[in-house]
Structure 1
C-alpha cells in the first residue's frame, strides 16, 4: 500500500491524518516546527494563551466528529453570571444591550443576504446605516477583518447569525486548544501515524503516494509553486494580558464603533492563569496601512473602559500580529467555492482555513481536511471509514 503524507501538523493536518489512518492507510505526518498545533498551539507556562480566542462552536461539524472520536475532552461554556457582564462599546461608551437593529439583522433568516452585494449596503437597506455598521463591527469576533462591511453580505450575515445565537454556540477547550492537539496527536500515533516534527518539507514526496498539504496558504503556495494560491484574509493585533483579579471586571467588550473584541477567558476556564489572576485576550483588526501599535492602542482604550486600574494590576503581557492566519474572507460576488480548490492534481490535495470548503473559523480547516483525506484515500483504493 502506498503511503499518504500529510504536510503540516496543525488542526487540519491532524484531522486528515487521523481520518486516513482510521480508514486503513499508512500515514506519515511531517511538521516543520518542533511542536504540533499550528495556530491551535497554546502557550506554555502559567498563562495558557491561545493564538487568538479559539472558541469551538457546538453547531459545527468538527464538534460532532471530535465527540465521536473521543477527542473533544472537557469543554466549558460561559457561566450565566459572567454572561451578564457582556459590554458593547458604542458611541464611545459601554452599554449592556445591543442595538435593536443588530438583533433584527441577526434574526433575519439564513439565505436572505445576497452574495453579490457588500454587507454594509445590504444591511443599511434593512435597518439603516448606524445599525448596519454596528452589526458589521460585531462580526469582527468571527472575521478578524478591519472592514467586515465591505465583504459579501451572505458571508458576513451567516457569521453574524452564529456569533449572536442564543444559547451561545461558543465553547472552550479546558486548558486551551493545546490539550485538544495533544489528544489528537495521541490518537494519530495509536492509529499508526508516523509523526515527524522539526521536519521542514521542501519538495513534495509524491512518489511515495498522495500528499495532503495542510499548511498556511502562503506556505502551500511556495511549496507547490502555484502563484494562484491566494485568497484574502484578515489582519489583527492580538494582545494577551494577565491581571490580578478584581470583582466587577467585564467579561467581554465588543466594539461596535470599530471591529474589536476583548474577552476575559478565565471567566469560563480559571485554569488558564494562576490563582488570583485572570487571562484576557484581545483581537483588534488592523487595516493595510495600520501597525501593531495601532491595534495595541485600540485595545488599551477598551481596557481603560472595562477593566479600571488594569495597568496597576498587570502581571504579564504579550502581543503579536496575525496576518493571513485568521481564515478566509469572501469579497462580494464570491463564496467558499471560489477559494483555492482542495484537489490540486497529481495526487496532491490542499487543506486549511483558506480553501474551498464551507464553515466558520476552524470548521473550514476541518471540512477541507476530511475532504482531502477522502480524496487521498480514494486515489489509494481505500474508502473513508464510517
Structure 2
C-alpha cells in the first residue's frame, strides 16, 4: 500500500486526501487549525458566514465529482436572472442603480468574442469591441470572480473566461445550504470512512521524507514551509463585508458596481438558514489597491448599501469587516496563463495544491484540479487526472 501525506485540511487538502484514499493509498492529513475547512469554513452562531462570498459553479469539474460521491448535499441555486425584477438584481452605473446592464457590456458576451487573447490586457481588448465605457463596466462586473482592484489590467483571456462564467444563463453559481461548512463536513466524513487519518492542531514545520507530500496550503504558507522564494503569484486584495439587517421588503438581491469593482449579495435570499428569523445576511467584497485601506473598501460598500437597501443603518443587527490579502485566488497578468503559475510538481516527492498554482478553472475549481493532479503525480497514476478541465 502506498502512503501519502497531505498538509492542509481545506477544500484542496480534503479533495487530495479522498482521491488518494480511493486509489488505495494510506493517507495522513495534517491541519494546523482546530477544525477542517480552511477558507471554506462556515462560522458558528446565528450568522452563518464564510470567509467572503463563496459559490460552487455547476459547470466546473468538481461539481460532478462531488455529486458522484453524494457530497453536494442540499443546494441553494441563484434564482434565474430574467426577469431581472424578480430577483432584484441591480447594477450601479454612473452613480445610479439600473435593472439592465449597458448594451456595450452585452457585446462582450457574444459567442463571437469568446476567445480573448492571452497577451493583451482586458481593457485594451474589450475597448476595441465595446468602447472604453463598456469595457470598464465589464471589467468591474467580472470582479465578482476576481477580487482584484483593476481587472482591466489583467490578461484578456483570464478576465473574459470569468466574465462568461459569471453571466451564463441559467446561472452556474450554487451555494451549499447552511454554508460551505456542511460540504466540508461531508468531505471529512467521506475521508474518515476511507481510512484517512486526520490530525487537527497539527502544524507541520518540516516535510516528511518517507512519503510523497501534497502541500495544500496558501501559497504564502507553502513558500515558508518549502523555503522556496519562487513560490509567488499575483492575487487580489479585497475588503470583505458581512452585514445582518432586519428584513425589509424591496431590498436588492444583488448590487453589482459597474463604476468600480465591488459586489454585494443578500445570501438569505436563497438560503434563509444563514441568519435568524426576521433578519437577512449580506456579504460583499470590495477590491482595494495597494495604497487603499479597509476604510476605503468599507466606504464603497456603504455607497452600494445606500442605493440598494434603504434605511440600512437603522436596521443593522451585526457587522464585521476584514481585509483578505493574497487569499482570493490567482490572477493572471497579460502574457501569462494558469500554466505559468507555480508548478504542482516541486520535485523530490513534493506537490502543491491550492487556488494559486498551475491548474485551470475558476475559483475553487483551481484547488480541485490541482489536488487531483498532485495526487496523480504523487501516486504515479495518471488516470486520476482525467477530470482536469
Compared CA separation, residues 198 and 110, structure 1 to 2 (3 A) = farther
What SS does the corresponding residue of 2:144 show, helix, strand or coil?
helix
Structure-to-structure mapping, 1:266-345, within 5 angstroms = 266-345=268-347
CA contact (8 A) 2:35 2:200 kept: yes
What SS does the corresponding residue of 1:297 show, helix, strand or coil?
helix
List runs of 5+ in structure 1 lacking aligned partners.
none
Q: Render the CA deviation track for 1:254-278: whole Å, top value 9, x for unaligned.
A: 0000000000000000000011100
* 1:261 corresponds to 2:294: no
List runs of 5+ in structure 2 lacking aligned partners.
none
* 1:189 corresponds to 2:192: yes
Q: Residue 18 of structure 1 corresponds to which residue in structure 2?
A: 18
How far 1:319 sits from its partner (Å)? 0.9
* 1:359 corresponds to 2:361: yes
Q: Residue 59 of structure 1 corresponds to which residue in structure 2?
A: 59
- TM-score, scaled to structure 1: 0.97
What SS does the corresponding residue of 2:158 show, helix, strand or coil?
helix
Q: CA RMSD in A?
A: 1.4
Give, in whole Å, the separation in 2 of the partners of 1:337 and 1:385: 16
Give, in whole Å, the separation in 1 of the partners of 2:47 and 2:29: 29
How far 1:102 sits from its partner (Å)? 1.1
Among residues 240, 243, 250, which one is paired with 2:242 in the alignment?
A: 240
How far 1:384 sits from its partner (Å)? 3.9
Q: Residue 28 of structure 1 corresponds to which residue in structure 2?
A: 28
- TM-score, scaled to structure 2: 0.96
Give, in whole Å, the separation in 2 of the partners of 1:179 and 1:205: 31
Q: Residue 159 of structure 1 corresponds to which residue in structure 2?
A: 162
Q: Residue 177 of structure 1 corresponds to which residue in structure 2?
A: 180
More moved, 70-79 vs 277-286: 70-79
Give, in whole Å, the separation in 1 of the partners of 2:262 and 2:233: 22
Among residues 93, 101, 121, which one is paired with 1:118 in the alignment?
A: 121
Q: Render the CA deviation track for 1:195-217: whole Å, top value 9, x for unaligned.
A: 0000010000122x100000000
* 1:130 corresponds to 2:133: yes
CA contact (8 A) 2:373 2:385 kept: no
CA contact (8 A) 1:22 1:385 kept: no
How far 1:383 sits from its partner (Å)? 6.4
* 1:102 corresponds to 2:105: yes
How far 1:6 sits from its partner (Å)? 0.2
How far 1:79 sits from its partner (Å)? 3.3
Compared CA separation, residues 91 and 97, structure 1 to 2 (3 A) = same
Give, in whole Å, the separation in 2 of the partners of 1:111 and 1:244: 42
What SS does the corresponding residue of 1:183 show, helix, strand or coil?
helix
Q: Residue 213 of structure 1 corresponds to which residue in structure 2?
A: 215
Compared CA separation, residues 349 and 245, structure 1 to 2 (3 A) = same
CA contact (8 A) 2:351 2:378 kept: yes
CA contact (8 A) 2:372 2:384 kept: no
Among residues 76, 84, 89, which one is paired with 2:87 in the alignment?
A: 84
CA contact (8 A) 1:13 1:214 kept: yes
Give, in whole Å, the separation in 2 of the partners of 1:348 and 1:238: 33
CA contact (8 A) 1:20 1:384 kept: no
Among residues 204, 208, 227, which one is paired with 2:207 in the alignment?
A: 204
CA contact (8 A) 2:376 2:385 kept: no
CA contact (8 A) 1:83 1:251 kept: no
CA contact (8 A) 2:372 2:385 kept: no
Number of residue pairs matched by the alignment: 383
Give, in whole Å, the separation in 2 of the partners of 1:236 and 1:358: 22
What SS does the corresponding residue of 1:79 show, helix, strand or coil?
coil
Q: Residue 253 of structure 2 corresponds to which residue in structure 1?
A: 251
How far 1:103 sits from its partner (Å)? 1.2
What SS does the corresponding residue of 2:282 show, helix, strand or coil?
strand
Compared CA separation, residues 383 and 333, structure 1 to 2 (3 A) = closer
